[in-house]
Amino acid sequence: MPTDTALRPAGARPPAPHSGAGAAGCACPGRDAERDPGRAPRRPRPTQRRRGSGPGSRDRNWGLPLALAAALVGMGVAMLVPVRAEVPPGARAWTRHIEVQGQRRSELVVAPAHLASGLPLYVVLHGSDASPAFEERRTGLSYLAGEGRALLVYPAGLGESWNAGQGCCGYSGRTHSDDVAFVEAVVADAVSHFGVDPRRVYLVGYSNGGKMALRMLAVDPDAFAGVAVYAATPLVPVGHGPPVPVLVAGGTADDRTPWAGPPRVQNGALAPSVTGAAAILRRRDRVGATATLRLLAGGRVTVETWRGTTARQVVTLVGYRGRGHAWPQARDSPLVLARLIVGFFDGLGPAPIGP
């Protein structure tokens, strides 16, 4: 049975972390690897409960000097440093646990302070070596909860990773974790427990989480009204199912998920480039050959959109000129990716339900 842990208002200290990372999460060595590709990532492994953590334990002082932490990391000593979800005013966040195939999984829930039924649902999948709380801060989408416009859930992949296909990535890829069943359970739970609109379920992913989002598009396209990813391309065939609106974004200087060129091996898996992925998705959604083009910020951001004959046939490709693997955050305003994603989803309307 799903359970909730330590409901808290915005700005309050989060509950102690549980296995799988929740609202407290952790920023472990290598956490910034996807923001800073030059930093070597740590080996992903399942997050374990720390001694003294859990319900009823005292909050600990995590004020270890960063210089000492960096030195220990350099010596190969694993440090666990908590990261709190920084939800905006008008929102609240807590950890929710879901039983999936006999395994206790967790998610961070970010909801309006006064939650109403019928809201859209945003399912946000974190990158590798990142907790849900870290992804909440990085992606900048939780302002929607503060404005009462959506409920957001940030599921926790095992070992801070997702099984996105071809053995990628990390712990979840190696152990063949059934993350498809987990994401489906997250959506079903949000519909039944929070009363979100099942016609407006949107899936967002970054890097490894984006690859997982594209896997969900391939295996369960009817579950989502739209999908948006950054620095991610599909590792599994996306098939020829019902059209799903997709936004694919990337940096033209990304050396981990190349913007253009032929498919290449990434994290041990053969993957297309960002523009190659957009071409695959255009064929899948059967959109027209001609795109509309918008130039933002003096041409630093390009937005190309292809459409078909129905509202569900739309593919958008967003390019950040000169940018690498890091998610475009609020400091890049007005180039912030979160706003482009929300605008894309808002323009789609609800998805049909049923055959």
Model pLDDT, residue 69: 35
What are the structure tokens assigned to 307, written together? 């459409």
For residue 16, what is the DSSP state? P
Q: What is the mean pLDDT of each run of 10 residues along the chain (355 residues)?
A: 59 37 35 38 41 33 36 34 70 96 96 96 97 95 96 98 95 96 98 97 98 97 96 93 96 96 87 96 95 92 96 96 89 75 90 60
Alpha carbon distance 176, 234 (integer Å): 17
Residue type, 213: A
Site of tokens 């694993």: 78
Nearest to 179 by CA among 187, 227, 52: 187
The rounded distance, in Å, linking the Cα atoms of 253 and 322 is 5
- Helix axis angle for 208-219 and 179-194, nearest 10°, is 80
Q: Answer yes or no: CATH 1.20.1250.20 is held by domain 3-346.
A: no
343's CB contacts (< 8 A; 6+ apart) are none
Report the DSSP pairing between strands 301-307 and 201-206: unpaired
pLDDT, position 354: 52
Cβ neighbors of 67 (< 8 A, separation 6 or more) are: none
Q: Concatenated DSSP letters for 189-229?
A: HHHHHH---TT-EEEEEETHHHHHHHHHHHH-GGG-SEEEE
Confidence (pLDDT) at 201:
98
pTM equals 0.79
